[in-house]
Structure 1
Amino acid sequence: MSQPSSPVAVFVYGTLKQGQRNFEVSRRAGWVRSERAWLEGFQIYHLPRASERPYSYPAIVAGEGRVWGEVQYFADLEAALVPLDALEDAGREYERVEVEARRPDGGAVRVWTYVYPSLEAVRRVNGVLCPGGDWSDPA
């Protein structure tokens, strides 16, 4: 019986994507390359700027749908998770979970991603569903 594979990359869907405000964190963490991908079984929400959030950003929760983003590969994944976890406030605001991302070529890859605690938590901060499963910073 084969063992399930371990995550080899990180799926990002918001401010860590190339061209977004926090991509520099990924770059400094040893980013090597990205590829377009999606997650099935999740919904993405826009969390608007507020007193506790100096800028808007997205959150995903389990649900019916597809979330578009990119799989980011790093020179040293374990080392890269340290600054990424810090940015995502892993364990407090987001939880880092292991999921399967799908690639346009039909392949799949085991990745880490950051998930918001619940739909109720999204609603408490006035999250708005992103139609089409794709987020970009409107600001």
Structure 2
Amino acid sequence: MTTTVFVYGTLMPGERNAHIAARGGPFTAQPATLRAHRLHHLHPEAYPALTPGHPDDLVRGYALTYTPDAWSAALPFLDELEGIHDSPPLYTRETVTLELEGGAALPAWVYLYARPERLSAAGAQHVPGGDWRVVEGRMHGGA
């Protein structure tokens, strides 16, 4: 059972929703990279959207690895924040393979943005370099 989730936005350590990741219990956070995915910033929402991308695309974030009990406790909080049970869903949860610092591969869950029509709107921008922490105005807004 995979008990790791890749976070790339408001759930990263030090960001505005990091406290939600901690609600389930203890975890370890390791810098990680997700390849072949593209990161977008949504304005005025002020949160990121992750989509499948080109083989050369990459996204920087963290692998949060929970104990099995902590994962079971954290998952409802994460799913609620990401709106996977909304109709239509805001994000979907899927499995991917991350690259940790040093090159080790790690299977993980990730939340992919499920409303592609929003990405063509004027307030959606691609995040060059795939690191949401460099986006101006990311600390304001919704989720």
Q: TM-score range by the shorter chain?
A: 0.7 to 0.9
1:18-75 deviation digits (Å, cap 9, x = unpaired): 00000000112214210000111100000112xxx4xx00011001100100000123
1:104 maps to 2:94: no
Q: Helix, strand or coil for the counterpart of 1:15?
A: coil
Structure 1 residues 80 and 124, CA gap change in structure 2 (3 angstroms): same
Matches within 5 A, 1:99-138: 99-117=96-114, 119-124=116-121, 126-136=123-133, 138=136
1:28 maps to 2:23: yes
The equivalent of 1:89 in structure 2 is 83
Letter of the 2:65 counterpart? Y
Q: Helix, strand or coil for the counterpart of 2:103?
A: coil
Distance in 2 of aligned mates of 1:33 and 1:111: 13
In structure 2, runs of 5+ residues without a counterpart are 138-143
Aligned length: 129
Distance in 2 of aligned mates of 1:99 and 1:77: 17
Distance in 2 of aligned mates of 1:16 and 1:110: 18
Q: Helix, strand or coil for the counterpart of 2:72?
A: helix
Letter of the 2:50 counterpart? I
**How many angstroms does 1:108 deviate by?**
0.8
Given that 2:40 and 2:50 are in contact with CA atoms closer than 8 Å, whether structure 1 keeps it comes out as yes
Letter of the 1:105 counterpart? G
Q: Helix, strand or coil for the counterpart of 2:53?
A: strand
**How many angstroms does 1:102 deviate by?**
0.6
TM-score relative to the length of structure 2? 0.83
Distance in 1 of aligned mates of 2:5 and 2:27: 12
The list of structure 1 runs, each at least 4 consecutive aligned residues, that deviate by more than 6 angstroms after superposition, is none
The equivalent of 1:60 in structure 2 is 50
In structure 1, runs of 5+ residues without a counterpart are 1-5
**Amino-acid identity (%):** 33
Distance in 2 of aligned mates of 1:79 and 1:127: 32
Given that 2:24 and 2:74 are in contact with CA atoms closer than 8 Å, whether structure 1 keeps it comes out as yes
Structure 1 residues 106 and 23, CA gap change in structure 2 (3 angstroms): same
Distance in 2 of aligned mates of 1:98 and 1:12: 13
The equivalent of 1:10 in structure 2 is 5
Q: Helix, strand or coil for the counterpart of 1:18?
A: coil
Let me know the Cα RMSD of the aligned residues.
1.6
Distance in 2 of aligned mates of 1:125 and 1:79: 37
